[in-house]
A and B are shown apart, each in its own frame.
Chain A
Amino acid sequence: MFLQQVVNGITTGCIYGLVALGYTLIFGVIGLINFAHGEVYMFGAFIAFSVLALLGGPFSLAIVAVIIGTALLGCLMDGLVYRPMRMAPRVSQLITAMAVSIVLRNTAMLAWGTRTRAFPSIFPLRAMEFWGIRVTQLQLAIPVLTLLLMIGLHLLIYRTRLGKAVRATSLDLEMASALGIEPNHIIATIFALGASMGGLAGVLVSIFYGSLSFDMGVAVGLRAFVACILGGIGSIHGAMLGGLIIGLAEAMAVGYISPGYKDAIAFLILTLVLIAKPSGIFGVLVEKGG
């Protein structure tokens, strides 16, 4: 039972972490909580769904479409909505982000309907048993893929010229611009990057549960947001760790208390973090202020 819940928790935790990366990257550079990020995750799932349903595959094409489609969605969101708002008060930006979220969700509802749709079954989801734990292949694939994406992101941010420019911009946007770095290019890049990771997470989840719906981004968006706060918003590693902790905590609550508590866990963790250590585990907020 315990190990089974650990496996389940890691699976969902990875998903939360991937979505959380999008929040944290964007917050790190422009200080905006992009509340519409959960909808990008949902769009990722629906883009894959549409490619598979309309064209019948192949799956690799669906994945490419998701990456490109959600990256574009991220850039459009930034360019059309957030960029004109860049100088506006923080609160106005947050309200705008919520509005974007509502618009995207309703667009998806109009496009794909209110019903929960079945995701085309492309992979035979065979479950394997080890020492009494049921693990599907996808449950093994999700952490591996997440790990690969994390390593890729880490190398991008810490080893490449672009990544260093992203970090410089997040530390001091004005100074970075005086060195010849175009802040709007950097911001568009992280929107694209965060969005495509969120989109991929959406596809993984839809395959995992075999279903998707226009409002699937709400719950995951919330948990990923809490994961960011827990890990220290602005921190890449914190986002991933926060996601895993929330995934595991939820799985334990489901297994040992009652499935009904699943939704309360994220709020409980959020409350505890805000009381005990508002800067989160990696404490980037405080670091940056100093």
Chain B
Amino acid sequence: MLQAVELKASYGKVSVLHSISFEVKQDEVVCLVGSNGAGKTTTLKAVMGLVPSQGDVLFHGESIHSLRPAQIARRGISYVPEGRRIFPHLSVLENLEMGAYLCKDTKALKNRLDQQLALFPELTGRLHRPGGTLSGGEQQMLAIARALMASPKTLLLDEPSMGLAPMVVDRVFNVIREVSRQGISILLVEQNAAGALAVSDRGYVLEQGRVVLEDSTKNLQGNPGVQRSYLGGHL
């Protein structure tokens, strides 16, 4: 359903993505692993229309490549950025409301809010606090909840486990499983390859702006090269 075709992107004269192609099918969790600076964040931003790129991005068979970010969001793609990017001076509730900006129906909005609070009970008691006052883990939950408020078909997640305590990391990966069960397809970017592969169906390995490997997670977990470069610290 989401398909990137020979995506290329550069910052100024420095080329960062060299013709990347990948696909996320209906109901799939697909991870994009790679070391720092491999181009994972740039890939997600290119899909979301946040950085200029060449190539094409198809969503349900239609090109969304020349659309503005807001239009891409409208098509049903939600984005959880690296570093969470909660609106710090907006309350938790307002952050969630902004996630559902495109939904003008107050009843549907209330439903979505209840759904998210059921999935993230830790936010319930914090609704009226500024987003910036939450802990890192809570902010990550809020960032995911905010994205889900849009009721997306596909969710892009950029390093959701970064900088979190091990227990919170587990919680994040459990949430990803739960979201996937709700029928939302997921493109997950992670440096934590072990955690990412454990929740994904398929994976792509990115090195210096190129896809060097793509396979089912089972095969990737068994691949000696992947084990050496990406799983060594985690297994």
Contact = CB atoms under 8 A, between A and B. Distances in A.
Interface in B63-94: 68-70, 72-74, 79, 81, 85, 87-90, 94
B101 interface: yes
A164 B97 contact: yes
A164 B90 CA distance: 8
Contacts, number: 63
A175 B70 contact: no
Contact of B85 (A161, A165, A167, A172): A172
A218 to B, nearest CB: 34
B70 A180 contact: yes
A172 B50 contact: no
A178 B146 CA distance: 11
A177 B101 CA distance: 10
A175 B98 CA distance: 10
A287 interface: yes
Contacts of A180: 70, 73-74, 101-102, 150
B150 to A, nearest CB: 7
A88 interface: no
A287 B94 CA distance: 19
Contacts of A172: 85, 87
B176 interface: no
Contacts of A64: none
B99 interface: yes
A176 B87 CA distance: 9
Most chain A CB inside 10 Å of its own CB: which residue of B85, B99, B146: B85
A263 interface: no
Interface in A135-186: 161, 164-165, 167-168, 171-172, 174-183
Given A180-B70, A287-B89, A175 B101 contact: no
Contact of A174 (B50, B88, B101, B150): B50
Contacts of A171: 87-90
Contact of B101 (A165, A167, A183, A287): A165
A82 B33 CA distance: 40
Contact of B81 (A165, A167, A178, A287): A178
B98 A176 contact: yes
A177 B89 contact: no
A183 B50 CA distance: 12
A175 B131 CA distance: 14
B89 A178 contact: no
Given A161-B97, A176-B98, A181-B98, A167 B70 contact: no
A232 to B, nearest CB: 13
A207 to B, nearest CB: 37
B116 to A, nearest CB: 14
B48 interface: yes
Interface of A: 161, 164-165, 167-168, 171-172, 174-183, 287
Cβ-closest 10 pairs across A and B: A180-B73, A177-B69, A180-B102, A178-B79, A175-B85, A182-B70, A171-B87, A168-B98, A180-B101, A168-B87
Given A171-B87, A180-B73, 18 more contacts: A161-B97, A164-B90, A164-B97, A165-B101, A167-B87, A167-B89, A167-B94, A168-B87, A168-B98, A171-B90, A175-B85, A177-B50, A177-B69, A177-B73, A178-B69, A178-B72, A178-B79, A182-B68
20 contacts: A161-B101, A161-B104, A164-B90, A165-B98, A167-B87, A167-B89, A168-B94, A171-B90, A172-B87, A175-B81, A177-B68, A177-B69, A177-B73, A179-B99, A179-B101, A180-B73, A180-B101, A180-B102, A182-B68, A182-B70
